[in-house]
Amino acid sequence: MEIVTGGAGFIAQTLIRRLLEEGQDVLALDNLVRGSLDYLKPFEAHPAFAFRNVDCSDKAALSDAVRSIDLGPGPHHIWHLAANSDIGAGNADMTIDLRDTFLTTVASVELAQAIGAARFHFASTSAIYGDHQGRGLAEDDGPLEPISNYGAMKLASEATIRAAVERFLPKADIFRFPNVVGLPATHGAMMDFVLKLKRDPSRLDVLGDGRQQKPYLHVTELVDAMLFISRTAQDRYNVFNIGPKDDGALVSFMAKTVRDIVSPGADIVFGEGDRGWVGDVPRVSFKIDRLTGLGWTPTMSSEQAVVRAAGEIASALGAA
């Protein structure tokens, strides 16, 4: 059984589609606070798909939810995607990332032990590195100094999984995500831009001066890389940066791309400073040499991913 926490969230929709296409049984788990059953509509009639509404940070509830399903003979794989996705909210109230980003990991690791999971896949993030002023970061580089509670609780999760590999877990894959764009539109700067332009077609206000540069990957490529790593990496503990080959696209490029699709006549009004919010890393750059060395290479650049996703999101939100 492929068990997906945060199963009604952004990344999960593409992952579940791929897993079902490959003939796997899938159990999606989500408390529907940030996720939505709408994202699971394409699968609800699929005989190999099941969903349970459960708070994945609640160890006992998670265990009960999984035990309500016939998991079959295995092997069982956990895809732990559940997390807070609102970095600003998590900085204002640290209990949010503690519960939704970290305690979901603790409960998922305990679930892995209880069901004898063969493999644990984890959605980590470039935010665990912190602000390295755009220095290209490889997986073994330090120091690791996350500047948001979100990044801190993702690093805490990695550490917990690493210790679990020492204790009982046969294999774990850590995927360090870049900024990911695509459908369904659930959160993030691109969706914000589309919604702002729907409200006021004459003007797009951007947090920060637009010069923040970040690597973007389209969600279809991200999931492709996750599946590739999960089947190819052979160590017991595998850590991979996943991202584009370039150093990223500027926020100003994203703003112009969305503006040109949604409301070509709008003025773009930039704010001040190089950070959109506390915990925002202005320049992110990380190396994917380990991933390309394993044999997977992205096909889209950051800008291409932004352009494609902007079209998809504008269309989905009825703004194109």
Q: Which residues bind a copy of itself (CB under 8 A)?
A: 91, 94, 98, 102, 106, 109-110, 128, 130, 139-149, 151-153, 155-156, 159-160, 162-163, 166-167, 237, 239, 278-279
Cβ–Cβ contacts within 10 Å for residue 144, how many?
14
Q: Shortest gap between Cβ of 219 and a copy of itself (angstroms)? A: 26
Output 176 or 259, the one with its CB closest to a copy of itself: 176
| Both structure tokens of 258 | 């969305």
- The residues, any chain, with a CB within 8 Å of residue 208's CB and separated by 6 or more, are 251, 270, 271, 272, 273, 274, 275, 276, 280, 282
Cβ-based nearer residue to a copy of itself, 88 or 188: 88
For the CB of residue 291, give the shortest distance to a copy of itself in the complex, in Å.
16
Q: Is the peptide bond before 298 cis (omega within 30 degrees of 0)?
A: no
Q: Which is nearer to a copy of itself, 106 or 115 (CB)?
A: 106
Q: How far is the CB of 130 from a copy of itself (least distance, A)?
A: 7
Nearer to a copy of itself, 115 or 144 (CB): 144
Closest distance to a copy of itself from the beta carbon of 121 (Å): 17
State which residue, 109 or 262, has the beta carbon closest to a copy of itself.
109
Distances in Å between the alpha carbon of 201 and those of 141, 253, 255?
44, 18, 13
Task: Write out the E strands in the chain.
Answer: 2-5, 26-30, 49-53, 77-80, 119-125, 172-177, 179-181, 203-206, 213-214, 216-218, 237-241, 249-250, 267-270
Give min distance, CB of 158 to a copy of itself, in A: 8
